[in-house]
Every structure is written in structure tokens, then in C-alpha cells.
Amino acid sequence: MHVRQKLNALPRQLPELAIGSLLLLLYAPLLLHWIDGWINKSISTEHEYFSHGLIGLPFAACLVWSKRHRWQALPDRTHLGGMGLLTLGLVWYLSPLADAINLSLPILLAGLCLWLKGIPGLRLQAFPLLLVLLATPNSVPYLLIPYTLPLQRLIAGVAGFLLVQVGMPVRVDEIYLFVNDRVVEIAPYCAGLKMLFTSLYVGLILLYWTGAWTSRSKVLRLLTGILLLNLIANIIRNALLTYFHATAQEAGFYWLHDGWGGDLFSTVLLGLIVLLMRWLDRPSDETAPHPTDS
Amino acid sequence: MNSFSITVMKRGIVLFALAIVAAIVLPNYWTQGWTWNHLPQLVQVKQLKQLQQQGLALEGWQTLNQRSIEIGGHSWSAQAIVPEAEAATATPQTTTLLLLRPQTWVRDLPQVDWMDINGIQQWQTDSVQSIQFTVACPNGQSLPVKARFLRGWTEERTYAVMQWYAWSTGGSNSPTDWFWADQRTRWNKEQPLPWIAVSVIQPIAPLGNIETVRLSLETLAQQIQTTLAETALQPAL
């Protein structure tokens, strides 16, 4: 009986291995293209908005691997929506649209979960699927541009105010800062949405990792903290950039705008978010064991 | 059918579908012909660059002067035009400014062009509204265009302003509308849909009502849209 089970195990997993291999065949070149665009910034600004996929996609893969026994233990169930998603995914994969090709990956993966294990399968893999979806490059950052104007105005206003405090003759008009006959535009892509997306993504991973996502108050406090940290950091960044530009320190401007200064800035910000998470997740006084009780 | 054979069949269907798609794209491993490796090209790039350098010839209008200027980091054609009948007596108050920014490569997307113009004009704006007009095509189709209509004023002069992105099958002042039109064209014809940012700036009486020139500006806008669709945006020229 035991021997038969073991013999059965391999052919039973063979179709799943074959499905995995075919998916890899379809998507390995696409994933390499994504990674190339993230590391070498060779595709587009919109694409770089999803560079958190460099952390998120491997993490999602690890999660799926760690859940493999639970996946196999799920009874075989079929949700017809799975066939719909699989068809949509394959059609989009073959389409000429970059967004559709990219989005076909999370669609196919969700379709597979539904088709093979039904709703419980989708629920089991919901978090890794969410990580893949949020790391799939698409045009949403471009479509958000018309809505970032209030944020650009706020950043321009506060950055201008800060620079006036250090004695710089700054005039703010809408999203423009005028200093010493030089103009700095707080462009849509300077509004800090990229860093905000990355921060929220990392926040999501942290919440899942520490198990804090079950506590509503911790989730809300972390998300609020991330929003505030990003807003403050971005105002400081834009004020510094304006300062460098206005005082003709081109090297400093380039360092923070295009060089490793920007990366350093992002790293410090992400570090602060990790610290915030640890602080929120600290053992509270009520649950800590009382040393006087003996 | 027992549950085991259903399981086998379910996996078989997925394998079959994936294998067909894999067979279609497999040659790409040798040819590197992946869709994402190829940036689609604008077939109209020559006409578009010419427009950027030389401006637009409009029937019944005379160009007083034209040059390329930099606005918001992009190159625009700035062109002063007057109706032919009034060319001899043209003054700054009767001269209309036509600003055009054609897309010249495929990754150049419409963004905040109206804001950029505000930045360079240094004017106050008000009475911002959205207007719609249609343009008749030679093939009998009518193309819908949505434009921004507003008043811009400085201490010296007041202007009625009409702004929109023109593309071959329509136009809108919203980059989002262009985005979806572009996606549809790429899906159907596997070609991108080039756009041209148009800004028509006409002087009016000091702090005057823009409604007084709405009809004449709309007629001019229709003429610009038609001319652009027949020249710079025409794929088979």
C-alpha cells in the first residue's frame, strides 16, 4: 500500500510540474525583461514604479513554495471562473499591448488556482498573488498623473516655505519654485508616488511577515505612518533639490536626482519604515509577563 | 466519470492550452522576436518632426512668424497667425498664437502640457470649461473632439484659450482619453496612435468674456484638427 502510494506520487505531480515548466517557458523571458528594466532603468519611468518586484516576486515564490503541502492537501475543486481567467490570460499574453502581456501573469496564476483548487485554492495563495499583481508593471502611474496635482502643489508650497526659512528668496507659483532666476518644476513624477508605492509594498510584506496584518489598528497605524513619512521625506527631498539647483550646485542636484543619493534616500526611508513596524509590533505592557507575580 | 479522471482532464486542458501558446512563442527564443523587445515605431515621425520645426499651414490664415520654442522641457512650434483678409493691418491684439507639440517618439507621452503653458505664460486663468465639437472626415465619419476652453489674463492682455490633444480619430484635452484610444489602436492595428498637443491663444478685450469668441475659435479649432488629421497625423502619406 505504501509502496503504491509512493509510486503514484510522481505521476500525480507530473502534470503540475509540466504546467510549471510551460509557465516558465512563457514567462522567463518576460521576467528577465522586467528585471532588466528595473535594474538598468531601460524601459520607462512607469516601469520603474514597480521595481519593488525585485523583492516582492522572489518573496511571493518563497511563500508559494512554503505552502506547497497545504496546496496539495486541498481537495480538487473547480471554479469555472478559473477557465475564464486562463483564457483571458492567454489571449492577453499573445496581444500586442505591453500592459496586457504583463498583466496576463497574475491573471493566469489566479486562473490556475481557481481552476485546480477552486475558491480555497485562490484564498490560500491570495497574498502571493497580490504581491505578484502589485509588482506587475502597467500604466497606472501614468494614468494617476492628472490626480497628483494637489500633491505637487502641496510639496511646492511647503518646500518653498522651508527654503524661505533658511533665507532663500523663493517665490512659489502653482507647482513652480522660482529662485535666483532659476525655475524648478515639481513634475508629476517628483510627487513621490514611486517611493510611496514601494513603501506601501514593503509595509504590506512587513505586516504579513510579522503577522501584524490581523490587527486592524496596527495596519492602520503603519499605513498612516508610511504616508506621513513619505510626504515629509519627499518635501525635504524636493527642498534640497531646489536648493542645489538654485545655488547652481549641479553635482549635488545630479547626485540626489539621478545618482546614488536617491538610492540612499530610499534606503533610509525604508529603514525608517522597518523601525516603525518594529515599534508598532513591540510587545505591549499589558501582555508582557509581570515580574512581580511569583 | 470518477474524481480522478476529472482531475486528469482538468490538468490536461490547462496543459493543452499552455502548450499551444508555448508553441506559438517558442521561435522567439531563437529570433528574439518577443513583443516586449520591440518598441513600436511612429510611421508619421517625419511629418511630425516637420510640424515641430515649421508649424502648420492653414487655409485662409497667414503665418506672420513661426519658430521652435522650449516649454516645460519639450520642443513646441510657436506660430503667430491672422486671417488672410486682416494680414495687412495685423496688430498684437488681432494676432492669434498657435502652439503645437507633436509627439516625435513613441515613449513621449502627453502629460501636463497645459500646466507647462501656464508656467511659461505666467497668467491667471479662470472660466475653465470643457467644450465638445465634431469634425467631419473625408470618408463621411464625424470625429468627436473634447477641448479645454478658458480665459488667461496678465496685466497687459486677456486671452481666450482652447487646448486639446489631436489624434487621427479624435481629440481630447485629457491624456487619459488619448491613452485608451492609443491602446485600442495598438490592439487593432498593432501601431501606436500619435498625438499633437494644440493650444490656440487668441487675444480678447481686457478681462472680456470668452463667450464672444467661442464660435470663431471653435471653427478655427475644427480647421486645425482637420488639417492635422490630413497631414501630420495621416499614416499613409
Question: pLDDT of chain A along its 294 residues, tens only?
Answer: 455 555 555 666 788 889 999 999 999 999 999 999 999 988 998 999 999 999 999 999 999 999 999 998 999 888 999 999 999 999 999 999 999 999 999 999 999 999 999 999 999 999 999 999 999 999 999 999 888 888 888 999 999 999 899 888 888 887 888 887 788 888 887 788 889 999 999 999 999 998 888 888 889 999 999 999 999 998 998 888 888 888 888 888 888 888 788 888 888 999 999 999 989 888 765 554 444 443
Residue whose C-alpha is closest to residue A222's, from A155, A275, A151: A275
Q: How far is B153 from chain A (nearest CA, A)?
A: 15
Distances from the Cα of A7 to the Cαs of A51, A75, A285, B131, in angstroms? Answer: 43, 20, 54, 72
Cell 508629476 -> residue: A188
Chain B residue nearest residue A94, CA to CA: B21
Q: Provide the grid cell at A5.
A: 502510494
Q: How many CB pairs under 8 A join A and B?
A: 96
Contacts of B175 in chain A (CB under 8 A): 142, 145-146
For strand A176-179 and strand A170-173, is the pairing parallel, antiparallel, or unpaired? antiparallel
Residue whose C-alpha is closest to residue B16's, from A22, A109, A211: A22
Domain ranges of chain A: 8-139, 148-280
Interface check for A175 against chain B (CB to CB < 8 A): the answer is: yes
| pLDDT single digits (tens) A224-262 | 999 999 999 989 988 888 888 888 888 888 888 887 888
Contact yes or no for B34 and A29 at CB 8 A: yes
DSSP B48-61: HHHHHHH----TTE
Q: Is B84 strand, coil or helix?
A: helix
Q: Is the ipTM of this complex over 0.90?
A: no
The residues pairing with B134 across neighbouring beta strands, listed in sequence order, are: B144
- For residue B151, what pLDDT is reported? 96
The structure's pTM equals: 0.88
Interface check for A191 against chain B (CB to CB < 8 A): the answer is: no
